[in-house]
Structure 1
Amino acid sequence: MTEKVVLVDEAGRAIGTQDKATVHHAETPLHLAFSSYVFDDRGRVLLTRRAHSKKTWPGVWTNSCCGHPLPGEPIEAAVRRRLADELGLVPATVELVLPRFRYRAEMPDGVVENELCPVFRVTCSGDPTPDPAEVAAYKWVDWPVGDVHSGLEAALRAALSPWCVLQAQELSRLGAGPAEWPVADPALLPPAAQ
């Protein structure tokens, strides 16, 4: 079965679908996605290294799990599905924290990511069992990621995906730590994600 992503307009309304395999290129259309940050019972966040076979940002360290809701799939269900598929994790909680995050980033080879990408705080227990086609490695680190005061080594900070860096900045503005981030109103999600 061909996986489809939901294309959206500037207001976040669904305007069609496109095959996931062909959506990312030099003129990637705006589409719906999500990012999640998984925290354990010690308050550490799970970072993952994208598989080297990925079309976008192969081998780059990033947040716990990203993905695209299927057409008609509730976005929280998509988060849960991808956490299970990529990392073998069953979340205890999935909470919306950045309902309208949007970014555009270009790789050195010209391939572009262009996403409306709500961000979720997730809690799980236990270590992941990554699918090697999706995740090359993982690491539990202290929050905040990408900050000079974090437990993350300088080399890893420099290697974070562009969306992870931007999201970490926005998340840090919500509060000093993940427990302080308020849960966002789902009515603030882009219309295509409601």
Structure 2
Amino acid sequence: MSSPALERVVLLDSSGRPAGEALKSEVHTGETPLHLAFSCYAFDADGRVLFTRRALGKRTWPGVWTGSVCGHPAPGEDSQEAVVRRLDQELGLTANAITMALPEFAYRAVDASGVVENEVCPVYLARVDRDPTPDPDEVAEWQWAQWDDLVRVAATTPWLISPWAVLQIAELAPVLPDLLPEFVTICP
């Protein structure tokens, strides 16, 4: 794995096709170009979802609660492989199963400092079997939560979580009942 300062992201054209690459450390600005990312919501065997609070040193949305893990596939790296890599790097977790939930999710958001996120960001669900051991440079805190509680938070107090999580949770809510039983057993 290369140094975080040398990580590269895949730039996309307006149709979402690869159109180059750039250093991750230089791409997130007030005029961030469209680029490829991913998000993942990790669930345990009881159907609880892992929610994380971004480290205070993060460039965008520091200290904000969000999904389990997000990141950027490296040039030439499959998005699902990137999910597996970041689950391990950020949370010390290994996925027992992964499924694509929202293949065409995309968003643009501006944080309080003016930094823009502008991403085509497929959303995955993963099954994990233990608590995380997070990298403190990536994750300040974590919590297992009931999915329905997160749906309520996203709908009623969206300012408490990342803007991409608000949008993703709203899109996941109607499809999750069909996807989740594939790899978790939800307890009442």
TM-score w.r.t. the length of structure 1 is: 0.86
2:66 pairs with one of 46, 62, 69: 62
Structure 2 counterpart SS, 1:94 = strand
CA spacing shift, 1:38–1:94, aligned 2, 3 Å = same
What is the rounded CA distance, in whole Å, between the counterparts of 1:127 and 1:18 in structure 2?
34
Q: CA deviation at 1:102?
A: 0.2
What is the rounded CA distance, in whole Å, between the counterparts of 2:70 and 2:39 in structure 1?
4
2:27 pairs with one of 23, 29, 32: 23
- Which residue pairs with 2:136 in the alignment? 132
What is the rounded CA distance, in whole Å, between the counterparts of 1:62 and 1:110 in structure 2?
19
Q: Does 1:115 align with 2:119?
A: yes
Q: Which moved more, 1:157-166 or 1:64-73?
A: 157-166
- Which residue pairs with 1:143 in the alignment? 147
The one-letter amino acid paired with 2:37 is A
Structure 2 counterpart SS, 1:100 = coil
The one-letter amino acid paired with 1:161 is S
Q: Does 1:171 align with 2:172?
A: yes
Conservation of the 8 A alpha-carbon contact between 1:36 and 1:120: yes
Conservation of the 8 A alpha-carbon contact between 1:50 and 1:134: yes
Any gaps of 5 or more consecutive residues in structure 2? 183-188
Residues 170-189 of structure 1 deviation map (CA, whole Å, 9 limit, x = unaligned) = 001214475269xxxxxxxx
The one-letter amino acid paired with 1:179 is L
CA spacing shift, 1:145–1:12, aligned 2, 3 Å = farther
Conservation of the 8 A alpha-carbon contact between 1:143 and 1:177: no
CA spacing shift, 1:177–1:137, aligned 2, 3 Å = farther
What is the rounded CA distance, in whole Å, between the counterparts of 2:60 and 2:174 in structure 1?
27
Conservation of the 8 A alpha-carbon contact between 2:7 and 2:24: yes
TM-score w.r.t. the length of structure 2 is: 0.88
- Which residue pairs with 2:54 in the alignment? 50
Residues 49-83 of structure 1 deviation map (CA, whole Å, 9 limit, x = unaligned) = 00000000000000000000000011111000000
Q: Which moved more, 1:30-39 or 1:172-181?
A: 172-181
What is the rounded CA distance, in whole Å, between the counterparts of 1:40 and 1:66 in structure 2?
18
CA spacing shift, 1:23–1:17, aligned 2, 3 Å = same
Structure 1 counterpart SS, 2:148 = coil
CA spacing shift, 1:76–1:147, aligned 2, 3 Å = closer
Conservation of the 8 A alpha-carbon contact between 1:144 and 1:177: no
What is the rounded CA distance, in whole Å, between the counterparts of 2:97 and 2:165 in structure 1?
21
- Which residue pairs with 1:34 in the alignment? 38
CA spacing shift, 1:81–1:13, aligned 2, 3 Å = same
The one-letter amino acid paired with 2:44 is D
- Taking only aligned residues, the RMSD between alpha carbons, in angstroms, comes to 1.9
Any gaps of 5 or more consecutive residues in structure 1? 182-194
